[in-house]
Amino acid sequence: MGAENGRGVWRGIRRLGLPALLAGVGMLTALATPASSPSPPPGPGLTLTGATYRLRLGQGDVVRVESPGGALYSTLPLISGAAGPLPRGAQTEVARVGQQVRVVVSQGDRVLEQAVLTLHAGFFTVAFAARPAAGGQPYFFGDGRHGIGLRALSAGWSPDGGLGDPLPMVRTAGRVALAPAPLEVAIRGPAGWLGLGLEQVPDATELAVTPGGILVNYPLRLLRRIHDSGAGGMEDGLLRFPDFVVVVAGDPLSTLADYRQALVALGAAPATLPARPAWWQEPIVDTWGAQMAAGAERGSPRYTAAWVRRLVALWQARYGLRRFTLVIDSRWQATIGSPEPDPIRFGGVRGMRRLIDQLHRQGIRVLLWWPLWDDHGTAVPDGRAQVLRMWRGRVVDPTAPGFPAAMARTLRVLLGTGPGCLDADGLKLDWQYDIPPRAENPALGWGAAALYRYLEVIADEARAIRPDALIDSSAAAPQFQPLIGAVRLYDAWNEQEWDRRAAVVATADPGVLIDGDDWRAGPADAVQHAVSSAVYGAPAFYFGDRWMGGIPIPTRTARALALIGQLAATKGMGTARPLAGGQEWQYRSHGLLVAQTFDGQHGLVVWQRAGCRATLCGTVVTTAAGLQAVPVPAGGIARLTGGGHQCSGRVRHGWFSARLEPDVVYRLAVA
């Protein structure tokens, strides 16, 4: 499953083939220029118009991307450097065929490279193909010497790092939080923001804007040996690449939203997500932070089945949570990458199964930490040791012939219910960014495409064994959404960074469950992070009775976290979105407001209409004392009760003001 939405999407010009392309160019009046000469300024030529943009080509291969009124976004040369330096005397032919512009660079009757621009209402695509150079790296919208017009650009944006200079980059490998992040970057010109992304999942791990064009680190040496099956490879003597998707918008997140809509229109991403099991939205308790705080991390002898039982008992007694999803984190295995639990610390398969059965009887679901790529390692690699391990081949290879069968056996042990199985409810995936530089069969994927194949096999096998299995992953690219159940935000150092990542995920993958993933949170921001993640997803709690450094968690803080966690599970399935400035969050279901943060993410209101005798009923929790404005999505008279007090008043301009106390559950009715 998933191939149509990810790696295997290929249509239109891919099926025309080189003879049809040349015939189409020959039928029309072409604009021919020497390929090695600089492109002239816009003049008489081609003008194409979409719903949100206008494209102009003068006597050359450079497209001016403009607003409908003529303001410039940027210039894009319809040429690539994948063929290497073009020989003297090469000719460029540019012609329009219906909704396409075709650019062919040739020497005599030998085609060196081609580009096909296809118009759509709110975006356009560009497909490149070239006779691959013997070495070097391929550039697009440039030849490595000249590329996108940078002089008019003032800023860039990447889903990896946010706003920056006009040379943004997105990576899939190399300890990135989202792996892969949406495969799109944006640059700002005088007219606004221009987004450039990839349609198919690429055989690459980087996409970067450079002075010489957009650099994508395709391994040309490998791709020259495989046949094009939909996401790159050789055909008719040319090496084809995944298509670029180009959008325009007023801000970076809007380019990301438009990019995602373009992928849906192209069939490369799902339009909607299937209904998810209710238990997926329950709060998450992860052992990792408590392990670190107690010195029981990874393979420590302190990290045992008994230790896990004590942590669960602590959460039940101190926090009052009875139903939640427990993540048994790193490292419960005998060796990394093995489904066999440690025989001493967890009692092997029988001991781990007893632990999981006990948790199930208590109404607790269980996810097992699962590291990708590492093949039966005895210690967690770090730094240079990890790099050496990757190059020496001690890694899982999803392109190897035996991989699907081996993964099926592993998942049967992890998720199966029969004898010799652990009966876990899902997996928390880690180390997705550790993509190795080698693949036995590059035709099945290299780079991000190899990761796609890895996750596709996991998804297919996991759902065959357990239809409601939760795969908690850091894959935020829309093409990957059919393969996972939740997107985890990974380690961050502050609430602003978690909010930024959550905004990327909510925009690129509307409706996906977001795992707040907060082990870096501490006394200063844990409650605030719980409030925000309770609205945009499922809050994750990593500590029991103390933070890192042995700092005790006050009872009052524990009570607040428990209240927030209980409320989060009542939202149902919906779509999150950040409000202006990124300081607050909303959550909507079937067009109705269900939850919202307020007071700088210190307050939370969750609305319910079923069983409500008033027009609207809500539950309000805050972590700060004082007069606060609670957002209300309906007008009328509001009545607030809680903590032995009550007050009432009129809702004004979508807000109801009341004096609130922390750690009190308030009921708010609007009539």
For the chain, domains (ranges, CATH) are 3-266 (2.70.98), 281-582 (3.20.20.80), 592-670 (2.60.40)
What pLDDT, on a 0 to 100 scale, did the predictor assign at position 669?
95
Measured distance CA(486)–CA(493) in Å, rounded: 21
Q: Cβ distance 557 to 528 under 8 Å? A: no
Q: What are phi and psi of 286, to 5 degrees?
A: -110, 135
Measured distance CA(669)–CA(651) in Å, rounded: 11
Q: Is 98 exposed, middle or buried (0-12, 13-18, 19+ CB in 10 A)?
A: exposed
What pLDDT, on a 0 to 100 scale, did the predictor assign at position 66?
97
Q: Give the pLDDT mean for 574-582.
A: 88
Coil/strand/helix, residue 285: strand
| C-alpha torsion angle, residues 298, 302, 308, 314 (rounded to 10) | -120
3-state secondary structure 578-621: ECHHHCCEEEEECCEEEEEEECCCCEEEEEECCCCCCCEEEEEE
Q: Cβ distance 508 to 533 under 8 Å? A: no
The secondary structure of residue 98, as a DSSP letter, is T
What pLDDT, on a 0 to 100 scale, did the predictor assign at position 580?
77
Which residue, among 540, 666, 649, has the nearest Cα to 603 in the 3D structure?
666
Measured distance CA(111)–CA(131) in Å, rounded: 8
- At 313, the pLDDT band (50, 70, 90 cuts) reads very high
What's the Cα-to-Cα distance from 206 to each of 66, 77, 187, 446, rounded to whole Å? Answer: 27, 20, 16, 12
What pLDDT, on a 0 to 100 scale, did the predictor assign at position 374?
83
- At 519, the pLDDT band (50, 70, 90 cuts) reads confident
- At 640, the pLDDT band (50, 70, 90 cuts) reads very high
Q: What is the pLDDT of residues 141-183, one digit of tens each?
A: 998 888 999 999 999 999 999 999 999 999 999 889 999 999 9
Measured distance CA(339)–CA(349) in Å, rounded: 9
Q: What are phi and psi of 670, to 5 degrees?
A: -120, 125
Does residue 43 carry a pLDDT above 70? no
Q: Give the pLDDT mean for 607-625.
A: 90
3-state secondary structure 548-573: HHHCECCHHHHHHHHHHHHHHCCCCC
Q: Which two tokens stand for residue 230?
A: 């939909």
Q: What is the pLDDT of residues 103-145, one digit of tens each?
A: 999 999 899 999 999 999 999 999 999 998 877 789 999 988 8
Does residue 188 carry a pLDDT above 70? yes
What pLDDT, on a 0 to 100 scale, did the predictor assign at position 500?
96
Q: Give the pLDDT mean for 247-267.
A: 98
Q: What are phi and psi of 544, to 5 degrees?
A: -105, -80
Does residue 529 carry a pLDDT above 50? yes
What pLDDT, on a 0 to 100 scale, did the predictor assign at position 1?
44
Please, what is the average pLDDT of the chain?
Answer: 89
What pLDDT, on a 0 to 100 scale, did the predictor assign at position 379?
54
Count H helices and E strands in the chain, helices first.
12, 38
Q: What are phi and psi of 95, to 5 degrees?
A: -150, 155
What's the Cα-to-Cα distance from 293 to each of 241, 297, 302, 548, 623, rounded to whole Å? Answer: 47, 8, 12, 5, 24
How far from the centroid of its chain's Cα atoms is residue 404's Cα? 24
Measured distance CA(365)–CA(478) in Å, rounded: 27
Lowest mean pLDDT among 23-37, 479-493, 537-551, 640-654: 23-37
Coil/strand/helix, residue 238: strand
Lowest mean pLDDT among 64-73, 349-358, 571-580: 571-580
Q: What is the pLDDT of residues 434-482, one digit of tens each?
A: 999 889 999 999 999 999 999 999 999 999 999 999 999 999 999 999 9
- At 11, the pLDDT band (50, 70, 90 cuts) reads very low
Question: Strands 513-515 and 486-488, how do they pair?
Answer: parallel
Does residue 386 carry a pLDDT above 90? no
Which residue, among 251, 499, 466, has the nearest Cα to 367 in the 3D structure?
466
- The tokens 């450094």 sit on which residue? 549
How far from the centroid of its chain's Cα atoms is residue 263's Cα? 14
Does residue 387 carry a pLDDT above 70? no
- The tokens 């302190």 sit on which residue? 302
Q: Cβ distance 372 to 452 under 8 Å? A: no
Does residue 23 carry a pLDDT above 80? no
Which residue, among 465, 453, 396, 375, has the nearest Cα to 424 in the 3D structure?
465
| C-alpha torsion angle, residues 398, 400, 406, 411 (rounded to 10) | 10
Encoded amino acid at 196, one letter:
L
Percent pLDDT > 90 in the chain is: 77
Measured distance CA(431)–CA(615) in Å, rounded: 48
What pLDDT, on a 0 to 100 scale, did the predictor assign at position 163?
94
Does residue 27 carry a pLDDT above 50? no
What pLDDT, on a 0 to 100 scale, did the predictor assign at position 393?
47
The neighbouring-strand residues paired with 128 are 115
Q: Give the pLDDT mean for 658-671.
A: 93
- At 572, the pLDDT band (50, 70, 90 cuts) reads confident
What pLDDT, on a 0 to 100 scale, did the predictor assign at position 389?
46
Does residue 527 carry a pLDDT above 50? yes
Q: What is the pLDDT of residues 390-416, one digit of tens each?
A: 444 468 999 999 999 999 999 999 999
Dihedral-angle region of residue 451 (phi above 0 means left; psi in -120 to 50 means alpha; beta otherwise):
alpha
Sign of CA dihedral 170, 174, 175, 180: positive
What pLDDT, on a 0 to 100 scale, did the predictor assign at position 382?
47
How far from the centroid of its chain's Cα atoms is residue 292's Cα? 27
Q: Which two tokens stand for residue 246?
A: 């180009």
Does residue 256 carry a pLDDT above 50? yes
Q: What share of the chain is helix, strand, coil (3-state, %, to 5)?
A: 25, 30, 45
Sign of CA dihedral 293, 298, 299, 303: positive
What pLDDT, on a 0 to 100 scale, did the predictor assign at position 231?
76
What pLDDT, on a 0 to 100 scale, did the predictor assign at position 271?
95
Q: Angle at which helices 287-294 and 305-314 pack, to 10 degrees?
A: 110
Encoded amino acid at 181, one letter:
A
Q: Which two tokens stand for residue 188?
A: 């700002």
Does residue 285 carry a pLDDT above 60? yes
Measured distance CA(399)–CA(143) in Å, rounded: 32
What pLDDT, on a 0 to 100 scale, did the predictor assign at position 438?
87
Q: Cβ distance 133 to 471 under 8 Å? A: no
Which residue, among 617, 619, 615, has the nearest Cα to 603 in the 3D structure?
619
